[in-house]
Structure 1
Amino acid sequence: MNRVTPSSQSQQVTAALQASLARLQATQDQISSGRRLGKPSDSPTDTATAMSLRSDHQRNEQLDRAIDDGSARLATADQALMQTDTLLLRVRQLLLAGSNDTNTAAERSAMAAELDQLRSSLLDVANTRYLGQPVFAGTQDTENAYDVSGAYLGNTSPVERRVTTGPDRVAVGITGPEAFGTLFADPAAAGGLGVLARAADALRTGDRTAMQQALTDVDAASDTVRTSQSIVGSRTSRLESVKTVGAAATTRMETQLSTVEGIDLAKALTDLSIQQSAYQAALSATAKVIQPSILDFLR
């Protein structure tokens, strides 16, 4: 016949109290953190699901940063192209005015000087930077897209970003030759002069045939700039569409993650109240069951 000794009784009661306290502390931790998964052993299956969701969420955040970077780069290029279009309009006005017989050689010379300044301004626009890099230089690591002579220093590979989970990459820029064509330099022309330089020379010489040709070339250059703006706009629209889809996916992931990891606060508070009452009752009952013996006072 087994005999229940005070020592074994005390150990059992202590173990029961510790288990009750552990449950109470676990519930308190869940309420304070808002999560029911404190460690993998709490639920291995849910932990694996949560890890997968967090991995997907981090990947989406990385793609979102790439989209934001691409959108900002495209916005910078679009602003530069808008400035270019405005400056080319002034170039066209000068050519039209210079073609008028009422202008003297001195007046046309002044127009040519202004056109030279416009060319310098357009070169500055073509060398527009984003985060310290020229936006129209492609992927080339160079200080400027064009030098002072109008020679292109970049390459023909546009900057790309991966903005989806698939293998495709989206161009988030446009290269100088695509945007500005032969405005600054033209290998096919005499001396390699670009449209702007030829237009200034035509004004200085008063050659109306050359001015008419320059006017045609400027109009073609303006069309190229507007086409580039359309390309930039379509790429921006695609990034915005991808961002919208990504935001919806991120919201779904956060909802799923909250469902997997989160707690039912109302239920957790009810459980906490019950566990606190049970623990206090257990302490009270234990104090009555386990009475100190004379040996406890002799120790």
Structure 2
Amino acid sequence: MINLSTGAFYERSTTQIGSLRSRAETLQQQIGSGQRLEHSSDDPVAAARLRMLDREERVSAVDTRNSQTAENNLKFADEAFGQAAVMISRARELALQAANATTSDEQRASIATELDGLRQNLLGLANGRNAAGHALFGGQAAGNAYQIDSATGVATYVGTATLDAVEIGEGQSIVPGNTGPEVFSFTDSSGAQTDIFAELSALSTALRAGGQAAADAARDGLTMLDTSFDKVTTAQTVLGSRLAWLEVMTERRTENMERIADERTVMGGADLAVTMSRLQEMLTVLEASQSSFVRLANLNLFSMLR
């Protein structure tokens, strides 16, 4: 016969009930959180994989922010390209009108005034701001893309020569915009580098001078404006392909995040049906153990004699 002291009985019973209660609480936490792992030691392999998934999520979050910023900047640029194309088209209409022999010097002077306004508006677009508040066409520069001499009105590009690409995931990167020269500069008929701002200024000056030279300058300006228009629309086409590529990469990231979520559920997620079943079983055992403890604790010699 094995003798069990009252103290040992209470200690063993308390330990057993405490263990059952702790296991029940753990199951309740798993149901609440949806996760079955509390510590890495619960499943070292699954825990290691979950850490890798966490890292993938953090990297994906950075790629997502980069892509969103790039997309915003490209959309700003796309809108500016559209407006620039409209302005250059209007300038071409004016140049064609000025080249007409029936146009008077007074009318050409009026055309020159409108061309000056278009030039100022184009400069405003070139010095527009992107999503970060930097010059839209200034490359990496924080200030304006073009500096205008207050005395002569000459516009000089003061941005950087290039614009750094940004990572958008899977080892891919994208240039989130254009520099000013990539959009507004071109080579003239003599092979020299110029830009739309200088050419519009020169055309305006020639029109104000009047005479046959003004008409000749207007005819020459048509070629310049066609070249400038082509430069802007080409840049807009390239930009459209970048936006399309961003959309593809966004879809890939979305699919990858869904895969990560599914794998996280498999590796560390709690099966709610199974966990709830185990919890119900554990609560039943706990209730039975507590009831047994109460009954046994109330037993004494007198009750046995009765």
Using structure 1 for the length normalisation, give the TM-score.
0.90
Task: Describe the superposition over 1:53-92 as per-residue Cα deviations: whole angstroms up to 9, x where unpaired.
Answer: 1110111111011111101111111110110000001100
User: In the TM superposition, what are the counterparts of 1:119-130 in structure 2 within 5 Å?
Assistant: 119-130=119-130
CA deviations on 1:105-129 (whole Å, 9 max, x unpaired) are 1111011011011100110011110
When the two chains are superposed, the root-mean-square deviation of aligned CA atoms in Å is: 2.3
2-structure distance, mates of 1:196, 1:242: 40
List per-residue Cα deviations over 1:237-261 (Å, max 9, x = no partner): 1111111111111110111112222
Whether the aligned pair in 1 keeps the contact of 2:134 and 2:141 (CA below 8 Å) is: no
Letter in 2 for 1:201: T
1:266-281 to 2 correspondences below 5 Å = 266-281=273-288
| Counterparts of 1:283 and 1:245, CA distance in 2 | 55
Shift of 1:136: 0.4
User: Which of these residues, 194, 197, 221, is aligned with residue 198 of structure 2?
Assistant: 194
Structure 1: how far apart are the matches of 2:291 and 2:91?
A: 95
Amino acid of the residue matched to residue 261 of structure 1?
A: G
Partner of 1:162: 167
Deviation at residue 218 of structure 1 after TM alignment = 0.7
Number of equivalenced pairs: 289
**1:94 maps onto 2:101 in alignment:** no
Paired residues for 1:139-150 under 5 Å: 139-141=140-142, 143-148=143-148, 149-150=154-155
Q: Deviation of residue 202 (structure 1)?
A: 2.7
| Distance verdict in 2 for CA 1:74–1:189, change over 3 Å | closer
Q: CA deviation at 1:6?
A: 2.0
Query: Is structure 2 residue 204 aligned with structure 1 residue 217?
Result: no
Structure 2 unmatched ranges of 5 or more: 149-153, 302-306
Deviation string, structure 1 residues 126-159 (Cα, Å, up to 9, x no partner): 1110121011011123x21112221001021114
Helix, strand or coil at the partner of 1:162: strand
Residue in 2 that maps onto 1:253: 260
Q: Which stretch of the first structure deviates more once superposed, 41-50 or 245-254?
A: 41-50
One-letter amino acid of the structure 1 residue matched with residue 281 of structure 2: I
TM-score by length of 2: 0.88
Change (3 A) 1:134 1:176: same
Q: Is the 8 A contact 1:198 1:214 kept in 2?
A: no
Q: 1:1-299 counterparts in 2 under 5 A?
A: 3-130=3-130, 131-141=132-142, 143-148=143-148, 149-166=154-171, 168-182=172-186, 188=192, 194-206=198-210, 207=213, 208-291=215-298
Provide the C-alpha distance between the structure 2 equivalents of 1:54 and 1:13, rounded to a whole number of angstroms: 42
